[in-house]
Amino acid sequence: MSQFVIYTDSGCDIAAEVLEKWGVRCQYLTFRFNDSEKEYAGNEMPSKEFYDKMRGGGVAKTAAVNVEQFCADFTPALEQGLDVLYIGLSSGISNTYNAGRLAAEQLQEKYPDRKIIAFDSLSASAGLGLMLSYAADQRDAGKSIDETLTYLNELRPGLCHWFTVEDLVYLKRGGRVSPATAIVGNVLGIKPVMHVDDAGKLIKVTTAHGRKKSLAALAAKYKETAKDPAGGRVFISHGDCEEDAKFLARMLKEQNGVEVELITMISPVIGAHSGPGTIALFFIGNER
């Protein structure tokens, strides 16, 4: 039996059945729409329904996992004599990681013989998911929690996130672009090409004119920076635009010979900030 358990949060955008296959336990951030008091956990509304509501004008607000929830989630494993490794959504995007860190510190006092580690992935969506897949590989290969942590620290600086959005209004709401930029960009069909930087924050790098050119820009970034362009592990996430995700996957295959390992839907807690039509590409590069 493995001597440590991997935990994460729903900022990873990996389906529950895939996390179960990897042996990763998940705590869910929540969201609600402005016109309703009902709060949903990240897995309580089908993503398709969520995006349809957004396209209809719905505005969703998200909430981080709190310390008490993490304590309740970690405790059963500790009671079983297992160590805990929590790999969380970037602290540059959400307070969820800090809640997991505080929970780990509190529980360490109660379980001094156990190792309880909170690791800031500085990653989001399937970028966090990609990191989890590598962590699970390390655990399954018999590596200790400390060896796995060392591996993740070495992996993190090269975990590349590149993405583009269909509608700039969602980035405007989050303060990522100005209202004027959002209006002009949508009228002219200008699409931002963004990434998550070394501090785990969203940064605009360049722009492309039109959807297909923005997807081509993502493929170009892969070719420029991927550590193993022909054989690396590649994930794509999308905001209810699977055909565009498949188009990007075909482009990567044609240009580099690489097979995309996982195409996944962006969950409501990430999609609330990026909107329908988001496409994101994740891989290991020489640098972020």
pLDDT in single tens digits along all 288 residues of the chain: 459 999 999 999 999 999 999 999 999 999 999 988 899 987 789 889 999 999 999 999 999 999 999 999 999 999 999 999 999 999 998 999 999 999 999 999 999 999 999 999 999 999 999 999 999 999 999 999 999 999 999 999 999 999 998 876 666 565 555 554 544 455 446 677 777 887 877 766 677 778 899 999 999 999 999 999 998 999 999 999 999 999 999 999 999 999 999 999 999 999 998 899 999 999 999 988
Q: What is the pLDDT of residue 64?
A: 95
Q: Is the dihedral of CA 91, 93, 95, 96 positive or negative?
A: negative
All domains of the chain in start order, with CATH: 4-156 (3.40.50.10170), 158-284 (3.30.1180.10)
Is residue 103 a contact partner of residue 74, using CB atoms and an 8 Å limit? yes
Is residue 34 a contact partner of residue 58, using CB atoms and an 8 Å limit? yes
Using DSSP's 3-state secondary structure scheme, residue 103 falls into: helix
Cβ atoms within 10 A of the Cβ of 113, count?
A: 8
Q: What is the pLDDT of residue 113?
A: 95
Structure tokens at 164: 């583009």
Q: What is the pLDDT of residue 133?
A: 98
Q: What is the pLDDT of residue 174?
A: 56
Q: What is the pLDDT of residue 288?
A: 81
Q: What is the pLDDT of residue 166?
A: 80
Cβ atoms within 10 A of the Cβ of 36, count?
A: 11
Q: What is the pLDDT of residue 50?
A: 95
Is residue 277 a contact partner of residue 65, using CB atoms and an 8 Å limit? no
Q: What is the pLDDT of residue 149?
A: 98
Residues 6 or more apart whose CB falls under 8 angstroms from that of 118 comprise: 86, 88, 97, 100, 101, 103, 104
